[in-house]
Chain A
Amino acid sequence: AQSVTQPDIHITVSEGASLELRCNYSYGATPYLFWYVQSPGQGLQLLLKYFSGDTLVQGIKGFEAEFKRSQSSFNLRKPSVHWSDAAEYFCAVGPRGTGNQFYFGTGTSLTVIP
């Protein structure tokens, strides 16, 4: 069955510390991959995307993600977290050949402590 898994429901990091949020997917072929961020009561903002090519992609707000085909993973990283990064983070996949129909993980809630 197709699935997107974000194993960490909630993560707490200190401001200035590094961050890694995990995402694993299960699909027949490599899908398109995305990370979105959602602040309370808000819609989703795209952080970065992977379609093909270089497996390390850069996004906005200093975020990056690495696609690892062998592990079916697309983990999100940031070297130094800011208090404003506190939010809900969602990994999404868009299976190739199905237009732009996205499937989301259950999200990881990030708390940043001063």
Chain B
Amino acid sequence: ETGVTQSPTHLIKTRGQQVTLRCSSQSGHNTVSWYQQALGQGPQFIFQYYREEENGRGNFPPRFSGLQFPNYSSELNVNALELDDSALYLCASSLAGGPSEQFFGPGTRLTVL
């Protein structure tokens, strides 16, 4: 059984640029959620994807967008990067349809200069 994987591990961008982060869900999981974890904080829910559609969104602006592909992998895109976007971005996969734990990937560390 393959766990959740994320790429890249680390990324450095400058303000105003755009970034794409990638996530492969755990085998058999059909739902992917994205979280932002700022330094010293708990993860904050960005959005969730199920059946290739957004299925819930936290308090993040539209410049945070995502995709889910038929194989359940997912991308997080952030446009017009700001300094405050510097954080660890976590992807989690789960099974839809009832109470289910989320399995987290190791995260992508994004630094915006």
List the interface of chain A (C-beta within 8 A of B): 4, 32, 34, 36, 41-46, 49, 51, 90, 94, 96, 98-107
Contact of A90 among B40, B42, B56, B94 (CB under 8 A): B42
Scan residues 4-43 of chain B and give those whose CB is less than 8 A from a CB of chain A: 4, 31, 33, 35, 40-43
The CA-CA distance from A51 to B100 in the complex, in Å, is: 9
A and B contact pairs by CB, cutoff 8 A, 20 listed: A42-B107, A43-B4, A43-B90, A46-B102, A51-B99, A94-B99, A96-B99, A100-B96, A100-B100, A100-B102, A102-B33, A102-B43, A102-B45, A102-B92, A104-B44, A105-B42, A106-B41, A106-B42, A107-B40, A107-B42
Contacts of B107 in A (CB 8 A): 42-43
Contact of A104 among B4, B31, B42, B106 (CB under 8 A): B42
A100 to B48, Cβ gap below 8 A? yes
The CA-CA distance from A24 to B104 in the complex, in Å, is: 23
B50 at the interface (CB under 8 A from A): yes
A99 to B31, Cβ gap below 8 A? yes
CB contact under 8 A between A101 and B45, given known A43-B106, A44-B104:
yes
A32 to B99, Cβ gap below 8 A? yes
| Residue on B nearest A46 in the bound complex, by CB | B101
Contacts of A32 in B (CB 8 A): 99
The CA-CA distance from A100 to B95 in the complex, in Å, is: 8
The CA-CA distance from A45 to B103 in the complex, in Å, is: 7
Contacts of A49 in B (CB 8 A): 101
Contacts of B99 in A (CB 8 A): 32, 51, 94, 96
Contacts of A51 in B (CB 8 A): 99
B104 to A43, Cβ gap below 8 A? yes
Contacts of A90 in B (CB 8 A): 42-43
| Residue on B nearest A51 in the bound complex, by CB | B99
| Residue on B nearest A91 in the bound complex, by CB | B42
A99 to B104, Cβ gap below 8 A? no
The CA-CA distance from A7 to B109 in the complex, in Å, is: 27
The CA-CA distance from A100 to B50 in the complex, in Å, is: 10
| Residue on B nearest A98 in the bound complex, by CB | B56
